[in-house]
Structure 1
């Protein structure tokens, strides 16, 4: 017990001295920004979300279920960028909208945030992208239909290249998978020329595979379990490789609990993606939080501080992958649809400040608490001071403490 207390004291001192994250609210203050400053770039969809949630019992297939229907400003890229703005950053959004009421509303809202609309292409004669989603009574997505053809047709390589200078000056560039592969690859190539790290958000299972041919250009990606497996299977299919990517049952002798059991099942998929040259996978696991995955052989500098000052450490296994687990914070769940976008936003804000990837992900997981407690895609209660203050410190202490138990669950791999 005394040894554990010493370790936790060391962690607390290390985290309280990490001013680059503790002072994010001030470093990224909109009032301190000047023209020409480096700003994070977010490229992807601005979407009108039509969200339906039952107010009573379960959803009734083939019938009408009483509930609430709301119209919400959405789109992965737009959500991420607005969350970043609430956390004190000034992201530059590159997107497209139609010349309709939905597009006008989104444009006016963006102006009200004090953010540039220069990168938002408004096209005549098209409708703003729309996603119609139905949630179950637990707040989980039950089904959705997306009409995002405007993004695919009008958010082109040519439009993205208009902002080459801004992209090449950015501390980080995020792409969402609403873009078609040629547009994504063009953006990746511009960023890579200037050694700007690239963050890929897979959006959905169907769209996650769009980046499979140029994962070597990408630094970070944030799939859920289904998206990760789809990306890996697409990658191996393209290369005409045959490999068993998913073991559906964990052998009893492994005695693994979640999330370790899921990682065991997905280890081949994770390895396949990392072998392309992709640096980090931020695997989002719902109520289990997120797991940071990288190749053990990389021996990333970003993990060294965590390894030295905490019970958490690289977990090497027979797949040659390192894992670092970040449990989700306790929350009163209202709607889960915006949690992933908020996690990405928080992580990107921290990375933009120069934070290491493990600290940045802890900040992102902390920020996502506000998303699940809000009915909106972007929580109006998201507050940069709270996320970067005591709650962030508590999250790190909790993550690192629980990682010791996580390591114990992984002993069967070693």
Structure 2
């Protein structure tokens, strides 16, 4: 349930959301009951309000898509929307199953720090990066890329296909890992799905 107040320009001025249903009413069994729908989907957006077990269940369901009922007999694109810093780490255990993730800078840093903290992380420094809010006040997309580049690379190295780093009024930056290139050979894509984002 979401209640939003819009200003005179149509922008959200205030909002209150109750995400309890997503956190308590959705479980692995509920996800499994929609397996056929998952197979027909082109894109699955996984909301960070879902608990880690549900995020993993969606990823696993998408990976099992096969057969005549599948969407062009291809796996759906799985897109993770973190929704908040606290909930951004809910996909840590299944990053390899994500084709896209669209964190803001703070969410991206939290996700990367979560990867760095795992016992099997061996591709560089495992120390967490600072989370001070002032770090994420960028004046340009270039400044964001300079600050966030290592965090984005950590997520790509952990298996995410592409990161769409959202920067508010500055737009967004898309960074593609090696896996998305392999996916393009398996699936033809056009339109916005193949486009680069910009501010």
Which of the five TM-score ranges fits, normalised by the shorter chain?
0.7 to 0.9
Report if aligned partners of 1:199, 1:220 keep a CA contact under 8 Å in 2.
Answer: yes
* Cross-structure match for 2:102: 222
Report if aligned partners of 2:22, 2:50 keep a CA contact under 8 Å in 1.
Answer: yes
Alignment: residue pair count: 181
* Cross-structure match for 2:129: 245
Which residues in structure 2 correspond to 1:6-155 (within 5 Å)? Answer: 47-51=1-5, 146-155=17-26
* Cross-structure match for 1:269: 151
Q: Which runs of 5+ in 1 are unaligned?
A: 1-46, 56-136, 251-255, 304-351, 366-398, 400-414
Change (3 A) 1:287 1:237: same
Distance in 1 between the 2:156 and 2:13 partners? 29
Pairwise CA distance, 1:298:
5.9
TM superposition score normalised by structure 1: 0.38
Pairwise CA distance, 1:146:
4.4
* Cross-structure match for 1:183: 54
| SS of match in other structure, 1:292 | strand
Change (3 A) 1:243 1:281: same
Change (3 A) 1:140 1:245: farther
Pairwise CA distance, 1:161:
0.8
1:284 to 166, 190, 194: 166
Pairwise CA distance, 1:229:
0.8
Distance in 1 between the 2:60 and 2:183 partners? 24
Distance in 1 between the 2:142 and 2:92 partners? 26
Change (3 A) 1:244 1:359: same
Which residues in structure 2 correspond to 1:331-370 (within 5 Å)? Answer: 354-355=189-190, 359-362=194-197
2:111 to 231, 249, 261: 231
Report if aligned partners of 1:220, 1:282 keep a CA contact under 8 Å in 2.
Answer: yes
Report if aligned partners of 2:28, 2:57 keep a CA contact under 8 Å in 1.
Answer: yes
Pairwise CA distance, 1:360:
3.9
TM superposition score normalised by structure 2: 0.74
Which residues in structure 2 correspond to 1:178-217 (within 5 Å)? Answer: 178-194=49-65, 195-217=75-97
Q: Which has the higher contact order (CA 8 A, sep 6+)?
A: 1
Distance in 1 between the 2:118 and 2:93 partners? 8
Pairwise CA distance, 1:215:
0.6
Report if aligned partners of 1:280, 1:293 keep a CA contact under 8 Å in 2.
Answer: yes
Distance in 2 between the 1:208 and 1:247 partners? 13
Change (3 A) 1:148 1:159: same
Distance in 2 between the 1:273 and 1:196 partners? 20
| SS of match in other structure, 1:206 | coil
* Cross-structure match for 1:300: 181
Distance in 2 between the 1:258 and 1:151 partners? 35
* Cross-structure match for 2:70: none
Q: Which runs of 5+ in 2 are unaligned?
A: 66-74
Who wins on radius of gyration, i.e. which is larger? 1
Pairwise CA distance, 1:279:
0.5
Distance in 2 between the 1:301 and 1:193 partners? 18
Pairwise CA distance, 1:147:
3.2
Give a deviation string over 1:318-371, Cα, whole Å, max 9, x none: xxxxxxxxxxxxxxxxxxxxxxxxxxxxxxxxxx99316664455xx7xxxxxx
Distance in 1 between the 2:19 and 2:78 partners? 23
